[in-house]
A and B are shown apart, each in its own frame.
Chain A
Amino acid sequence: MNAEYRGVWTLSEVRDGRIHPVSYELLAWGRDLADSLEVPLSAVLLGHNIAEQAGDLIVQGADQVYVVDDLELAHFRPDIWTKTLTALVNRHRPEIFIASATSTGRTVMPVLYVDLETGLTADCTELSIDTKERLLLQTRPAIGGNVMADIKTPFCRPQMCTVRPRSKKPLAADPARTGKVFTESVAPESLSSVIKLLEFLPEKNVGAPLQDAEIIVAGGKGMKKAANFALLEELAGLLGGSVGASRMAVDLNWAPYSSQVGLSGKSVTPKIYIACGISGAVQHLAGMSASDTVIAINSDPEAPIFRVADLAIVGDVLEIVPALIGRLKS
């Protein structure tokens, strides 16, 4: 029965009328899986007036794109998203369907898998194919990141999971790539929602979201007090970066929740992550260890953060950071 299901699908996301880059990260995940299985990689694109962007998904790694373009799909609503995706999955039968663990992915997938009567693995950090059994091997942290679990969905299809945003980089765009775009239609009932979007209230804090920052200067309890976060602001300002924080610093109200990095905060992959007075609890590492370069400053030579650091500075942050700021200014 499982042999009827073939191919790897990714769920694209559209924000402000544009395909969001998390969709391209998913294609990077999906490309590896589809190549191991020797099947096509397809992106699903739901929205309104988005069909002309379907080509971007092919340039970024998809072989095929299934587009449903309808006014009702202009904004995400879980009920009609689910009905539409259920119809598409039952029609084309992919063996794997992955989405990003964004607010959209973490809402639609837990509703969709119920209707498809299959399994769903949340927040995966690694995916691979067990080629012998032709099964998706899904790896995810659980229990505060203290264990990593390998999970399979042997008997149900599609094998579904969400993956952490920013845990893989998109493939380089290749304008020479070719692929097929299919315009799909679904029954009108599938597009009638009982949920009404009344308004969008944008977040007040200005500046780029933390996940988009190329340089992050993050502080933990070792910063000693709220006022010292001003040093991190200053350093980040000089480097053109943003300020992040450990959960401890957020719980102490030294930094806003929106800057929390880690399992219960954000996953980030900046070019440079500077950890200041952060111990490096597994939950924190889960959100930042994929950064390109990590510099850690901690007074404890045994601090676990040093295990993921390219440069480990054993010393007092409250001496080092001001000295660094002084040098950058001169």
Chain B
Amino acid sequence: MRIGVLVKQVPATENVKIDEKTGTMIREGVDAELNPLDLHAVEEAVRLKERLGGDAEITVISMGPPQAQKAVKAAIAMGCDGGLLLSDRRFAGSDTLATARTLAAGVKQAGHFDLLLSGERATDGETGQVGPAVGEILNLPVLTFVSAVESFSDGYLTVQRGVEGGHERVQAPLPAMISVVKEINVPRLCTLGGKLRAKKTVIPVLGADDLPLPQEHLGLAGSPTKVVKVSYPQITRSGKKISAVDNPDGAVEAILSLLGARGAV
């Protein structure tokens, strides 16, 4: 069995600046980490490998600047076997379609996978679109919001996926693509041994010339969506302020009268 996990490196802080001209995030000089939601995809891959008695090989795949190698290594330290980084200046500014096309080409280059996993969404772009899009480009059945993998054998995968009002149990043939939610597991901490192994692992890097992708599918130019403006959230209301410190009864009265005016009591 071969399992692939897509992981993204994201800024470790919310104080990210946006390049006003391109509408893309300025990642230089910002502390970065492995997308917290991707830890669950990595953990699930490692658990599946354990379930298979170790008879699986897990490859971590990421697209990003050279320092994204760190995120790949962090995943390897949790128990993955190897990694692949797709990195090229020409990938910069990719929207989710350009990212998914690049990742799909990289996955193909890395050979056949029985299962691909992604996180539910990245904490920076927060779209949740890349995982399913990669699955579709590779012509795989796509199962999203997976909260449990029930079985993974005999050419089939059975999972539970969260939907409004409950969970669905669904089955799909392998190979398949799944995106997992936070509830699926609790990610393990990496061991010292894992860290040492990650340190020694060489992560191959592929650039645009190594992938069979047309130029016009790459980076900012290959992105159908364009960020035209960024702004900071507008706050809309300015209501009445009452201090309950001096006048607790007055505060309770005010709440009651507003509830009354709105027909709630």
**B residues neighboring A (CB under 8 Å):** 11, 14-16, 18, 23, 25, 95-97, 100, 123-133, 135-137, 141-145, 158, 160-173, 183, 223-245, 248-249, 251-252, 254-256, 258-259, 262-265
A203 touching B166, Cβ below 8 Å: yes
The interface residues of chain B, by DSSP majority, are classed as: mixed
B182 to chain A, nearest CB (A): 8
Asked if A313 is at the interface of the complex by the 8 Å CB criterion, the answer is yes
Asked if A89 is at the interface of the complex by the 8 Å CB criterion, the answer is no
B256 touching A324, Cβ below 8 Å: yes
B17 to chain A, nearest CB (A): 9
Cα of A242 to Cα of B25 in the assembled complex, Å: 38
A111 touching B264, Cβ below 8 Å: no
Could you say which residues of chain A place their CB within 8 Å of the CB of B18? 147, 149
From A194, A271, A310, give the contact of B237 (CB < 8 A).
Answer: A310
A328 touching B231, Cβ below 8 Å: no
B243 touching A314, Cβ below 8 Å: yes
A198 touching B158, Cβ below 8 Å: yes
**A residues neighboring B (CB under 8 Å):** 15, 77-79, 82, 102-104, 106-107, 109-111, 113-115, 117-123, 137, 141-156, 194-203, 209, 215, 239-240, 257, 263, 271-272, 274, 282, 285-286, 289, 292-295, 297, 301, 304, 306-316, 319-320, 323-324, 327-328
From B128, B158, B171, B237, give the contact of A106 (CB < 8 A).
Answer: B128
Could you say which residues of chain A place their CB within 8 Å of the CB of B239? 294, 306, 309-312
A311 touching B242, Cβ below 8 Å: yes
The interface residues of chain A, by DSSP majority, are classed as: mixed
Sorted from nearest, which 5 A-B pairs have the closest CB atoms?
Answer: A315-B244, A119-B224, A119-B225, A122-B127, A310-B239
Could you say which residues of chain A place their CB within 8 Å of the CB of B129? 109-110, 113, 120, 122
A310 to chain B, nearest CB (A): 4
Tally A-B pairs: CB < 8 A. Answer: 255
- Decide yes or no: A113 and B133 within 8 Å by CB, A103-B145, A122-B127 being known contacts: yes
- Decide yes or no: A323 and B252 within 8 Å by CB, A143-B124, A147-B18, A314-B245 being known contacts: yes
Most buried by B among A103, A115, A272: A103
A106 touching B252, Cβ below 8 Å: no
From A111, A198, A274, A315, give the contact of B136 (CB < 8 A).
Answer: A111
B129 to chain A, nearest CB (A): 4
A199 touching B168, Cβ below 8 Å: yes
11 A-B residue pairings within 8 Å (CB atoms): A103-B161, A111-B132, A111-B135, A142-B126, A143-B11, A143-B25, A151-B23, A197-B170, A272-B262, A294-B239, A311-B240
B128 touching A110, Cβ below 8 Å: yes
B98 to chain A, nearest CB (A): 10
Could you say which residues of chain A place their CB within 8 Å of the CB of B223? 119
B22 to chain A, nearest CB (A): 12
B31 to chain A, nearest CB (A): 14
A310 touching B225, Cβ below 8 Å: no
B255 touching A148, Cβ below 8 Å: no
B235 touching A307, Cβ below 8 Å: yes
Could you say which residues of chain B place their CB within 8 Å of the CB of A103? 144-145, 161-164
A195 touching B128, Cβ below 8 Å: no
Cα of A151 to Cα of B96 in the assembled complex, Å: 13
Cα of A87 to Cα of B42 in the assembled complex, Å: 36
Could you say which residues of chain A place their CB within 8 Å of the CB of B238? 307
Could you say which residues of chain A place their CB within 8 Å of the CB of B142? 78-79, 107, 111
A276 to chain B, nearest CB (A): 11
From A151, A199, A272, A315, give the contact of B264 (CB < 8 A).
Answer: A272
B251 touching A315, Cβ below 8 Å: yes
From B166, B225, B230, B251, give the contact of A121 (CB < 8 A).
Answer: B225
A225 to chain B, nearest CB (A): 21
- Decide yes or no: A152 and B226 within 8 Å by CB, A103-B144, A114-B100, A327-B252 being known contacts: yes
B125 touching A142, Cβ below 8 Å: yes
Could you say which residues of chain B place their CB within 8 Å of the CB of A257? 183
A21 to chain B, nearest CB (A): 12
Could you say which residues of chain B place their CB within 8 Å of the CB of A263? 126
B233 touching A285, Cβ below 8 Å: yes
In the complex, the chain A residue whose C-beta lies closest to that of B244 is A315
B65 to chain A, nearest CB (A): 17
Could you say which residues of chain B place their CB within 8 Å of the CB of A197? 168-170
B254 touching A313, Cβ below 8 Å: yes
Could you say which residues of chain A place their CB within 8 Å of the CB of B163? 103-104
From B167, B251, B262, give the contact of A201 (CB < 8 A).
Answer: B167
A155 touching B224, Cβ below 8 Å: yes
A135 to chain B, nearest CB (A): 9
B230 touching A147, Cβ below 8 Å: yes
From B123, B166, B237, B248, give the contact of A144 (CB < 8 A).
Answer: B123
B244 touching A320, Cβ below 8 Å: yes
Could you say which residues of chain B place their CB within 8 Å of the CB of A295? 255, 258-259
